[in-house]
Structure 1
Amino acid sequence: MSNLLNKNDKEKKERKFPSAFSVLFIVLVFAAILTYVVPAGSYDRLQYNKETNSFLRVNSDGTETSLEASQKVLDDLKITVPLKSFVNEDIKKPVAIPGSYHKLDQQPQGFMKVARAPIDGIADCIGIIVFVLILGGCIGVLNKTGTFDAGIAALSKKTKGKEFLMVAIISSIIALGGTTFGLAEETIAFYPILMPIFLASGFDAIVTIAAIYMGSAIGTMFSTTNAFSVVVASNAAGISFKDGLTFRIISLVLAQIITLWYIYRYAKKVKKDPEASIIAEDMPRINKQYLEGYDPDNVAPFNFRRITMLVVFMAAFPIMIYGVMNLEWWFEEMSTLFLIVGIALLFLSGLPEGDAVSAFLDGASDLVSVALIVGVARGINIILDDGMISDTMLYQASNIISGMNGVLFSSVQMILFSFLGIFIPSSSGLATLSMPIIAPLADTVSLGRDVVVSAYNYGQGRMAIIAPTGLILATLEMVDVSYNKWVKFIVPLMGILLILAIVMLGIQTIF
């Protein structure tokens, strides 16, 4: 009998879904295989040099040509981006030149390239990695002093009976940040704060992920003024980002309502029966991780010291958002902000110097795996870029949709943008590469280019919900949920959002 039980336990372990690192390495190897199979190719690119007020054409063979920065040059190259978009630095990245695609010698990425890719990815993402580690340090100090436990207890009393309202408000605020300025990677900071609050309110970890990650995903998928996606895409398409804005606002509102309804149905079911949770078997471990030692009837008092520490920490978030929106901050500036906050927390904690520093370092070490996942995911993109196959996929995609009728054109290109979003996860990178190629195709079917911009947003934003090359695996690693369980939860919602996007694109095409 014991042998049979051991055998069953062994089989359960063998059936366990691979970790986030294993998933990424599988995708990394698959990307390398594609560099052997997919023909290598590249578009010529045009980049504006502000210092010399000239264009630099970089050909697919690596040769460079300096050109006059004039509208005539752009017209001759069939680039529909207005000259002022380059001069005003609305377009900062090189744009693809239509009709310039050339096949290249195959650039297969072998064993050593694959082995080195995660290292190069980590080096390329060092800004994000430092941000994550410093954030973890701040959280470590707050946990050590019991500040989070005291804050959770106070908030739970205020929201008793209205727990989902808190979920809806937080998710909608994050969606607003996503749609206006591209709030995405920054949301990593929210999980350690909100996870214990949501767990203490009776929700499972999936609800926390859905509230935060889907808030950001819906916001970026249905961007309105996001400079990193819709504004760049519109400029690259040669139109104003205001074109099609009404349709995107309506789509945003509808998508957020649908998403909150979907989360609510799941949360209500789990609250009624915790065993109905997709991650029921994982919840004891997750509760221990985030709520170990937490007893709502026996927590440290939410006194002046703890209130001050929490206020200092929370005040960093509006400052960070303001900096990103108005001061062109990126991860270096955000890391500096949280380092200052971390030092302030060390002094406010009242802990002995050695204990305070140890708490900071322990908190940082808890997020090392998250930081490394970000780097490994970037390594996949490096393999694809070095293999020179991303442009080939764009070229084939443009051939597929060329000459289609309007409604079919908009729907198929959205699906193609979803596919391209796997291989080019940067929203601004995909926009500047694809829009000069695909936007003019809309003219051939008498379709407004604003439809192309909307299709791009809906397509790449939808794929970001599950794409391993994006932010989702780092998010799941942070809250200790496996990828397959997230996919199981979110795929039905993705289907609903796909139908919504197709309907809204159809309406936009007609009007």
Structure 2
Amino acid sequence: MSSTKKFKFPTAFTILFIILIIAVGLTWIVPAGSYSKLTYNSTTQQFVVKSHQQEDQFLPATQESLEQLNVKIKLNNFLEGKIRKPIAIPGTYRQVEQQPKTLKDITLSMVNGTIEAADVMVFIFVLGGMIGVINRTGSFNAGLTALAKRTKGNEFLIVFSVSVLMLIGGTTCGIEEEAVAFYPILVPVFIALGYDAIVCVGAIFLASSMGTAFSTINPFSVVIASNAAGIQFTEGISFRILGLILGGISVITYLYWYSKKVKADPTFSYCYEEREEFEQHYLSFHQGDNNELEFNTKRKIILTLFCLAFIIMVWGVMFGGWWFPQMASSFLAITIIIMFLSRLSEDEVLNAFTTGAADLVAVSLIIGLARGVNLVLDEGMISDTILNYASNLVAGMPPTIFILAQLVVFIFLGLFVPSSSGLAVLSMPIMAPLADAVGIPRDIVVSAYNWGQYAMLFLAPTGLVLVTLQMLHIPFNKWVKFVMPMIGMLLLIGSILLVVQVSLYA
């Protein structure tokens, strides 16, 4: 008697490892090339032009120097630190000697990518440790039970509230990696409400990404892209606000439909087969004896401090110039306060913290592996070649076709450069001037960048999506099935708004 083994979709690690091998192969096929890059040295107060295998060129930090380089960016954007990453200088692309990577670079890039992602990994470990300590106090258990009772019959209100908050977070401050912090606390809540893992990903990752795609004042995408394009970020903001409203309605409507289906029939869940592993992992602290824990004053204070940590984090990112070291530090400080407040023994606290951090080791390693892919592309010097080819492809097209082609180009570039700020400073000085040639405002190109890149980042393995799926034990193919309608809606809304904007100026 023969038996057939059921196919299991590869894990996040396998997918990224395959992509890493492909990236190494591309460095042998795609011609190597490089743009000259412009940076501002705040110490010497000079511009520095770096070109491959050439001596650095130093220029006075003046608007005249920028004009000389054909960089249409206001000087203050450099002096005030709004643009910190190297800017690609238009018209300076040239092919260079091939820089092929070898088999040894596969493992080396994995190690170097992990080192480069150390700040994010420390943040995730501290977050996991905090979750572990709070779990040990029973605060999540007691709070979850109280919430489930209070929302009985109106469960979707929680999904709606989280989605709206994530949409706002995405459009204002581009909450992405920081959203990882919300899963350990919100997932048990969603399970208790009768939903599945994908509902949680939809309310957090999908909603925040839709908000970021239609960024209004997000400093890490639309603001830096506008600065790099030489315009004010407020240009085109009315269309981005309209897109945000339409995109938000689409997400919430879609989540309502899916949540209602899962609530009525749990087998409808796209990840029904993984439910046992998922629930066992996230409800482990909710199991044990059947005695209901009292949601007393101490536990309420602990959960309040936990929520306060996120409020402080959002404030720090938006107004304090924080990045992952500062966020990790603030989380650690509040964790220490909770440790003393909990009155747990030293051994209990240490075991809870290390157990919580250990649960997120796999997530951290995926971030490092994804960074390794980007390192291979950069060190193989093919990223600039891809950008140069894309810019030549769309140059000289009629306005409507041009802007839709820009949307497609940014979808493609989003796969190779998953960083929103990284793609902005690399591509905008090259792509934005192309709008002048076809007679449309540059802010429309900025919108095409935003909407195209994020359509790809819903799926790009080199982005945040595999980290999220690994945390929630969701196979990549199940996520693709769920998210494709929303990608289609994003591109539909974006395409219509782009065409309307172009028609107003044609």
Q: TM-score, normalised by structure 1?
A: 0.96
Structure 1 residue runs of 5 or longer lacking an equivalent are none
**Counterpart residue identity of residue 437, structure 1:** I
Determine the C-alpha separation between the residues in 1 that align with 2:461 and 2:247: 23
Equivalent position SS for 2:47? strand
1:413 to 402, 406, 411: 406
> What residue number does 1:392 align with?
385
- Aligned to 1:503, the other structure's residue is in SS state helix
Pick the aligned partner of 1:309 from 302, 311, 327.
302
Distance 1:86 1:329 in 2: 19
Question: Which of 54-63 and 257-266 deviates more?
Answer: 54-63
Map of 2:486 onto structure 1: 493
What residue in structure 1 maps to residue 421 of structure 2? 428
- 2:134 paired residue number: 142
Q: Amino acid of the residue matched to residue 443 of structure 1?
A: D
| 2:432 is aligned with 1:439 | yes
Matched residue type, 2:343: G
* Cα distance in 2, alignment partners of residues 293 and 362 from structure 1: 12
* Structure 1 equivalent of residue 368 of structure 2: 375
Q: Distance in 1 between matches of 2:325 and 2:301?
A: 26
- Which residue does the alignment assign to 1:246? 238
Paired residue for 2:336, among 328, 332, 343? Answer: 343
2:451–2:490 CA contact under 8 A, matched in 1: no
Instruction: Give the Cα separation in 1 of the matches to 2:476 and 2:53.
Output: 40
Amino acid at match of 2:185: I
Q: How many residues end up aligned between the 2 structures?
A: 503
Structure 1 CA distance, aligned partners of 2:445 and 2:458?
Answer: 20
1:481 equivalent in structure 2: 474
Inter-partner Cα distance in structure 1 for 2:429 and 2:311: 36
Once the two structures are aligned, what percentage of the paired residues are identical?
48
| 2:386 is aligned with 1:360 | no
Q: Deviations over 1:85-128 (max 9, x none)?
A: 22222221111111100001111110111111111011001011
Distance in 2 of aligned mates of 1:492 and 1:224 = 23
* 2:57 corresponding residue in structure 1: 65
* Counterpart position of 2:31: 39
Match of 1:25 in 2: 17
When structure 1 is superposed on structure 2, of 59-68 and 186-195 the one drifting more is: 59-68
Determine the structure 1 residue equivalent to 2:77.
85
In structure 2, what is the equivalent of residue 125 of structure 1? 117
Measure, in 2, the Cα distance between the counterparts of 1:340 and 1:82: 40
Is the contact between residue 60 and residue 102 of structure 1 (CA under 8 Å) also seen in structure 2? no
- 1:135-174 matches, within 5 Å, as 135-174=127-166
2:248 matched to 1:256? Answer: yes
Post-superposition offset of 1:33: 0.8
Of 227, 239, 242, the residue aligned with 2:219 is 227
Deviations for 1:421-446, whole angstroms, at most 9, x for unmatched residues? 11111111111111111101001100
Structure 2 match to 1:401: 394
Query: Aligned pair 1:300/2:278, yes or no?
Result: no
Aligned-pair CA distance for 1:61: 2.6
Q: Which amino acid aligns with 2:306?
A: F
Contact 1:90/1:232, CA 8 A, preserved across alignment? yes
TM superposition shift of 1:47 = 1.2
Alignment of 1:256-335 (within 5 A): 256-292=248-284, 294=286, 298-335=291-328
Residues 439, 449 of structure 1: 8 Å contact kept: yes
What CA distance in whole angstroms lies between the structure 2 residues aligned with 1:330 and 1:68? 30
Give the conservation status (yes or no) of the 8 Å contact 1:403–1:445: yes
Q: Is the 8 A contact 1:28 1:114 kept in 2?
A: yes
Structure 2 equivalent of residue 95 of structure 1? 87
2:323 partner amino acid: W
Work out the CA distance in 2 between the residues paired with 1:118 and 1:184: 22
Paired residue secondary structure (1:319): helix
The Cα of 1:59 is off from its aligned counterpart by 1.3
Mapped partners of 2:128, 2:264: distance in 1: 33
Query: After superposition, what is the alpha-carbon deviation per residue over 1:23-56, rounded to whole angstroms, capped at 9, x for unaligned?
Result: 1101111111111111100001111122222211
Secondary structure of the residue that 1:281 maps to in structure 2? helix
Give 1:298 deviation, angstroms.
4.1
Instruction: Output one character per residue of 1:275-320: Cα deviation in whole Å (capped at 9) or x when no partner.
Output: 1111111112212222246479842111122112111111111011
Q: Which stretch shows the higher mean deviation, 55-64 or 423-432?
A: 55-64
Mapped partners of 2:163, 2:443: distance in 1: 27
Deviation at 1:177, TM superposition (A): 1.1
* Corresponding residue of 1:502: 495
Contact 1:458-1:501 within 8 A present in 2 as well? yes
Pairwise CA RMSD: 1.4
Residue pair 1:349, 1:356 contacting (<8 A) in 2 also: no
CA distance in 2, matches of 1:224, 1:58: 33
Instruction: Describe the shift of the 1:232–1:142 C-alpha distance in structure 2 as closer, same or farther (beyond 3 A).
Output: same
Letter in 2 for 1:482: P
| Alpha carbons of structure 1 residues 62 and 214: separation in structure 2 relative to 1, 3 Å | farther
Contact residue 121 and residue 376 of structure 1 kept, 8 A:
yes
Using the TM superposition, give the Cα deviation of residue 493 of structure 1 relative to its aligned residue in structure 2, in angstroms: 1.7
1:412 Cα offset (Å): 1.1
- 1:349, distance to aligned residue in structure 2 (A): 2.2
**Normalising by the residue count of structure 2, what TM-score does the alignment of the two structures yield?**
0.97
One-letter identity of the residue aligned with 2:340: F
Unaligned runs of 5+ in 2: none
